[in-house]
């Protein structure tokens, strides 16, 4: 067991596997089919100050090696998350959960983070400044170093738990944004959120997705994600969580070699609901194959 | 939800574009109105297909060949498929009353079959309206009759059965309750033509099919619902039409 442990911002994870926000709900759909306590932790559905329905449907389009989603942060709002979702989660998950927070203004981020920071079940706050599917907020905070730093500072001021800034790949220089977040007090960086993409239906000659564009994820984006994780991990001292197209134990090891302390698994959960469980079970075998004794020893091994 | 390997034992043409596939595996727990989500090699997302019937350990699905996924399915004659089963809420049979009416349009017909079978097993007097565009598209008329249901077929062009839409036939019938599945325009027409309460099965583009991604959400009078989880069956009283 100790072979798989990693330290994420002062909290030890049994293993580095974390289902990514938006692909794991608030946990209990998966708890119905396996014991989710096998996970390192998971990042729950992006939560905002007020309840949101999100975007009109269709919200999903298929691609080669992946999918596009334009859900648009559907969630019941932070109050309901604390009053209803977290107590429900407590019954099936006894570890600290990662609270994923989104907003449309600095005040939104502050409000939601402050509330979740007080929840005993929450271990980390993952601040999503990279959602491609909402207008006038979300990603716009993550596309320039100044506003990314501003969100980081404001959230840091009202929280005691480690804050992890989740970055967008849809930028010209992700390293400068990561560094700005680190300087502003981020305890960790997670990347990448989805790549902005689209599909057009040949029959209707219109975009497949009602919102026209959406976030591209799935195994096809892995090399792009890996490259960005490598660049950011080379430039910052805080822990980096790598994600983007991860779907096997081998991918996890590759991400860790690129500098990831922990690894999130997203779209793979939607195709195979057992993906994270299977990756965790496969890790010891793959480690043995590549003569890895302890996973934490390989973090940044390729840097 | 279960994730199970099913063995393909039959895959036959019902008409020019509609196929019937028989799969062998663990069918326990599958209810009328639910769907399965099928993984196909080389395609990223699974394909959700409604359950047409359960015959012991055999699962019957009927699908129309309309795109890449169903085109691929059409050519599968043997081997194993990875399925997620027991997806969706399914129909609530307890509300049917003594003589329920089942209304299916086109590829919305398959889920009506297992439902009719279960209702008849419960001793209900089941009437079925099957709506098609034209005679060449008709399938399962005999199968429904063999269950012991009263069956009416409508075709839009009048080439078989009574000419017109399912709603034209509804007006002539007495029923205690209704269940329906078909294209959204038909569902809306049924909604307006019906004079009892009933249940509607909806379609939406899905990501996961089991409630994790929020890809197929809709608004209802009773709040936001995921078509794949709290749906695909919604009650008449909670529906908010998009258009």
Asked whether residue B48 falls in the same domain as residue B108, the answer is no
Shortest Cα distance from B58 to chain A (angstroms)?
23
Which pLDDT tens digit goes with each residue over A136-194? Answer: 556 678 899 999 999 999 999 999 999 999 999 999 999 999 999 999 999 999 999 99
Asked whether residue B75 falls in the same domain as residue B98, the answer is no
Query: Span A79-102, mean pLDDT?
Result: 97
Shortest Cα distance from A161 to chain B (angstroms)?
26
- Per DSSP (E only), the strands in A48-135 are 60-63, 66-69, 97-101, 122-128
Asked whether residue B37 falls in the same domain as residue B104, the answer is no
> How many Cα atoms within 13 Å fall on the side-chain side of residue B79?
10
Asked whether residue B63 falls in the same domain as residue B148, the answer is no
Q: Residue B207: which of A56, A69, A272 has the nearest Cβ?
A: A69
Chain-centroid distance of CA A183 in Å reads 21
Q: Nearest chain B residue to A31 by CA: give it.
A: B1
pLDDT of residue A141: 87
Q: Is residue B212 part of a domain?
A: no
Asked whether residue B65 falls in the same domain as residue B166, the answer is no
Contact between B39 and B4 (Cβ < 8 Å): no
How far are the Cα atoms of A109, A189, B101, B142, B143 from residue B146, in angstroms, in the given order? 61, 63, 17, 6, 5
Q: Do A59 and B39 touch (CB under 8 A)?
A: no
Domain count within chain B = 2
Query: Span B203-214, mean pLDDT?
Result: 95
Which pLDDT tens digit goes with each residue over A247-292? Answer: 999 999 999 999 999 999 999 999 999 999 999 999 999 999 999 9
pLDDT of residue A139: 64
- CATH number for the domain including B126? 3.40.50.80
Which pLDDT tens digit goes with each residue over A202-240? Answer: 999 999 999 999 999 999 999 999 999 999 999 999 999
- Residue A131 pLDDT > 80: no
Q: Is residue B238 part of a domain?
A: no
Q: Do A271 and B44 touch (CB under 8 A)?
A: yes
Asked whether residue B80 falls in the same domain as residue B112, the answer is no
CATH number for the domain whose boundaries are A2-298 = 3.20.20.70
Q: Which residues of A touch B212 (CB under 8 A)?
A: 23-25, 29-30, 269-270, 273
pLDDT of residue A230: 98
Asked whether residue B44 falls in the same domain as residue B79, the answer is yes
Q: What is the mean pLDDT of chain A?
A: 96
Chain-centroid distance of CA B139 in Å reads 13
Count other C-beta atoms under 10 Å from residue B95's C-beta: 15
Q: Do B219 and A58 touch (CB under 8 A)?
A: no
Catalytic residues of A: 131
Query: Where are the alpha helices (H) located in B122-233, listed in sequence order?
Result: 141-147, 166-170, 184-193
Asked whether residue B155 falls in the same domain as residue B132, the answer is yes
Query: Span B205-217, mean pLDDT?
Result: 95
- Per DSSP (E only), the strands in A214-301 are 214-217, 240-243, 260-265
Give me the domain span that covers residue B146.
Answer: 93-203
Q: Nearest chain A residue to B4 by CA: give it.
A: A272
- CATH number for the domain including B34? 2.40.30.10
Q: What is the mean pLDDT of chain B?
A: 96
- Residue B86 pLDDT > 70: yes
Q: Is the ipTM of this complex over 0.95?
A: no
DSSP character at residue B51: E
pLDDT of residue B243: 65
Q: What percent of chain A lies above the pLDDT cut of 70?
A: 97
Asked whether residue B74 falls in the same domain as residue B106, the answer is no
Asked whether residue B26 falls in the same domain as residue B100, the answer is no
Angstrom distance (rounded) from CA A151 to CA A110: 8
- Residue A135 pLDDT > 70: no
Number of Cβ pairs closer than 8 Å across A and B? 93
Angstrom distance (rounded) from CA B125 to CA B119: 8
State the sign of the Cα–Cα–Cα–Cα dihedral A143, A145, A296, A16.
Answer: negative
Peptide bond into A58 cis (omega under 30): yes
Q: Taking the domains of chain A in order of start, what are their residue ranges?
A: 2-298
pLDDT of residue A2: 79
Q: Nearest chain B residue to A68 by CA: give it.
A: B207
Q: Residue A67: which of B45, B204, B210 has the nearest Cβ?
A: B45
Higher pLDDT, B212 or A135: B212
Angstrom distance (rounded) from CA A41 to CA A19: 7
Q: Which residues of B touch A53 (CB under 8 A)?
A: 217, 219, 224
pLDDT of residue A138: 61
- Residue B232 pLDDT > 80: yes
């Amino acid at each position: 067991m100790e072979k798989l442990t990693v330290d994420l911002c002062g909290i030890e994870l049994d293993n580095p596997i974390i289902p990514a926000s938006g692909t794991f709900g608030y946990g209990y759909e998966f708890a119905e089919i396996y014991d989710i306590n096998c996970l390192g932790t998971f990042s729950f559905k992006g939560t905002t100050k007020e309840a949101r329905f999100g975007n009109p449907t269709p919200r999903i389009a298929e691609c080669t090696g992946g999918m596009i989603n334009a859900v648009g942060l559907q969630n019941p709002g932070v109050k309901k998350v604390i009053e209803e979702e977290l107590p429900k989660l407590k019954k099936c998950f006894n570890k600290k959960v990662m609270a994923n927070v989104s907003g449309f203004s600095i005040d939104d981020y502050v409000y939601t983070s402050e509330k979740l920071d007080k929840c005993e079940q929450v271990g980390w706050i993952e601040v999503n400044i990279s959602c491609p599917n909402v207008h006038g907020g979300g990603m716009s905070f993550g596309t320039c170093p100044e506003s990314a730093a501003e969100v980081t500072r404001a959230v840091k001021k009202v929280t005691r738990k480690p804050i992890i800034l989740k970055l967008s790949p849809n930028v010209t220089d992700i390293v400068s944004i990561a560094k700005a977040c680190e300087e502003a007090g981020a305890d960790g960086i997670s990347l990448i959120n989805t790549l902005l993409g689209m599909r057009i239906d040949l029959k209707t000659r219109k975009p497949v997705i009602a919102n026209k564009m959406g976030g591209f994820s799935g195994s096809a984006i892995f090399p792009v994600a890996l490259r960005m994780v490598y660049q950011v991990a080379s430039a910052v001292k805080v822990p980096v969580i790598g994600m983007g197209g991860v779907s096997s134990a081998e991918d996890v090891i590759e991400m860790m070699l690129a500098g990831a302390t922990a690894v999130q698994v997203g779209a793979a959960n939607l195709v195979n609901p057992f993906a994270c469980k299977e990756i965790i079970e496969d890790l010891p075998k793959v480690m043995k194959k590549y003569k890895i004794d302890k996973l934490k020893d390989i973090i940044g091994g390729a840097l | 939800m279960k994730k199970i390997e099913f063995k393909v034992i039959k895959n036959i043409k019902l008409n020019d574009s509609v196929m019937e596939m028989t799969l062998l595996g663990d069918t326990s727990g599958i209810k009328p109105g639910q769907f399965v989500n099928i993984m196909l090699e080389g395609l990223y997302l699974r394909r959700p297909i409604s359950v047409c019937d359960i015959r012991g350990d055999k699962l019957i699905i009927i699908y129309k060949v309309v795109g890449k996924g169903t085109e691929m399915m059409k050519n599968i004659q043997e081997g194993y498929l990875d399925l997620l089963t027991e997806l969706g809420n399914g129909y609530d049979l307890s509300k049917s009353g003594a003589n329920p009416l089942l209304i299916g349009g086109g590829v919305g017909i398959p889920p009506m079959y297992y439902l009719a079978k279960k209702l008849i097993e419960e001793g209900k007097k089941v009437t079925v309206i099957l709506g098609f565009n034209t005679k060449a598209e008709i399938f399962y008329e005999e199968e429904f009759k063999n269950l012991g249901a009263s069956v009416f077929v409508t075709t839009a062009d009048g080439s078989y059965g009574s000419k017109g839409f399912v709603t034209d036939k509804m007006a002539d019938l007495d029923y205690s309750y209704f269940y329906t599945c078909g294209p959204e325009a038909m569902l809306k027409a049924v909604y307006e033509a019906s004079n009892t309460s009933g249940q509607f099965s909806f379609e939406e583009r899905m990501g996961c099919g089991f409630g994790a991604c929020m890809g197929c959400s809709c608004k209802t009078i009773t709040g936001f619902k995921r078509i794949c989880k709290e749906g695909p069956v919604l009650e008449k009283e909670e529906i908010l039409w998009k258009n």
